[in-house]
A and B are shown apart, each in its own frame.
Chain A
Amino acid sequence: MNTAQYKTWDEFMEGVWRQNPVFVMVLGMCPTLAVTVSAINAISMGVATLFVLVCSCGLVSLMRKLTPKEVRIAVYIVIIATFVTAVDYAIQAISLALYDALGAFIQLIVVNCIILGRAEAHAAKNPPIPAMVNAAGMGVGFTIGLLALGVVREILGAGTLFGVSLFGAGFQPWVIMVLPPGGFFVLGAWLLLFAWWARRRAGLPAKEATQHV
């Protein structure tokens, strides 16, 4: 890999792993928790957000020299809302069942902090290609985060994965996991797991984790 390729890859992986929007930055929580009752919902939401993110960051980046500083947020919001409207109608046309399952959360992509954050922090200062690569990384990272939640909640709460039954008829589903509290618990558990893992990698024994005041 030469330097330019490496830099692009690095930019992409920043969103996927080091700055993962769900697990590291804890942004865009509302759709993360609300739609992840099943793996298929999680993927659809992730892909919809990915599309809006890449398109709007590309456009924001193209218009970065034309946009006056004072009204930039309004400009970003209108750009994002345009793409979200397109996605909204596209999902409605592709699958009405999916549209009903995701509900208002497709339209609420507009106020997802990840998108506005990327537009403001990255796309407004960089040329279109790096901006879109960075946005794609963030979008993929967001999708992975959603999927991690959706898979756990679907397996525990319904005993299925992508709609396929895993445990047979005797399985007693843990219903609370597909209800609102489950979303908070599963995300909290993931964050704990990552914190524990980061601590282990840093070489600290788990015992010292308890702080004595």
Chain B
Amino acid sequence: MSESAFQIFVNALLANNFVLAMFLGLCPFLGVSGKLDTAFPMGIATTFVMLVASLCAYGLNLLLTAFHLEFLRLISYIVIIASAVQLVEMVLKKYSPALFRALGIYLPLITTNCAVLGVALFQTAREYDFVQSVTFSIGGGAGFTLALVLMASVRERLTLSNVPDLAQGTALSLMLAGILSLSFMGFAGLGG
């Protein structure tokens, strides 16, 4: 792999945005994007879990490859992510109880966010080295946060406008996501 760290970052942030171009992490994207106040902390928490998961997955992959246990990769990754989420939960509870309460139920649900597992799986499949893996996870997390914040801002505005009854709810969110995704396609080729 000859991609520079900067290229990987821009790619994961914009051109191959995790949510809008690769369809990862759609459940929180549609579920938590109702209000800006929850969308941003959720994005940050997910980014942090992604970073921890990516670091652990990198180390674990070396270990699994050394012992020729590649078939255990998926099971061990998911266990690592679940533990990372648990860790974040405990740290937040101890040092920032306010944020912990604000995130509530969404925190444990990060475990089943496919963007997190996606980071671990993609970095393995593309054989990224250590620096590349870290930039990839930060870029992916930033892209997830960006998409979430954009979506939440648009949806906050939409609550004030006159929308046909029929289209309210998920259908409207999906159409919005489609338009956002369309505009993100303009970034294609940016990361080289």
> What is the interface of chain A, defined by CB distance below 8 A to chain B?
26-27, 29-31, 33-34, 73-74, 77-78, 81-82, 84-85, 88-89, 104, 107-108, 110-113, 116, 176, 179-185, 187-188, 191-192, 195-196, 199, 208-213
Contact = CB atoms under 8 A, between A and B. Distances in A.
Given A74-B82, A181-B185, A188-B175, A111 B165 contact: no
Given A81-B78, A110-B117, A188-B174, 16 more contacts: A30-B27, A30-B114, A31-B23, A33-B23, A73-B111, A77-B79, A104-B122, A112-B114, A113-B27, A176-B182, A180-B21, A180-B22, A185-B174, A192-B167, A195-B166, A209-B166
Contacts of A88: 74
B30 A26 contact: yes
B117 A181 contact: no
12 contacts: A29-B30, A34-B22, A74-B82, A81-B75, A82-B75, A85-B71, A104-B125, A111-B113, A113-B27, A180-B20, A181-B185, A184-B174
Contacts of A34: 22-24
Contacts of A116: 112
A199 B114 contact: no
A77 B78 contact: yes
Nearest to B75: A81
B174 A187 contact: yes
Nearest to B22: A34
A135 B182 CA distance: 35
Contacts of B96: none
Contact of A108 (B20, B118, B182, B185): B118
Nearest to A103: B125
Interface of B: 20-27, 30, 71, 74-75, 78-79, 82, 111-114, 117-118, 121-122, 125, 162-167, 170-172, 174-175, 177-179, 181-182, 185
Nearest to A82: B75
A66 B12 CA distance: 43
A85 B26 contact: no
Contacts of A196: 166
Interface centre among A31, A33, A89, A112 (most CB of B within 10 A): A33
Given A104-B118, A104-B122, A187-B174, A211 B162 contact: yes
A78 B79 contact: yes
A22 to B, nearest CB: 11
Nearest first, the 7 closest Cβ-Cβ pairs linking A and B are A184-B178, A188-B174, A34-B23, A29-B26, A191-B171, A181-B181, A181-B182
Nearest to A190: B171
Contacts of A181: 178-179, 181-182, 185
A84 B114 CA distance: 14
B45 to A, nearest CB: 17
Contacts of A73: 82, 111
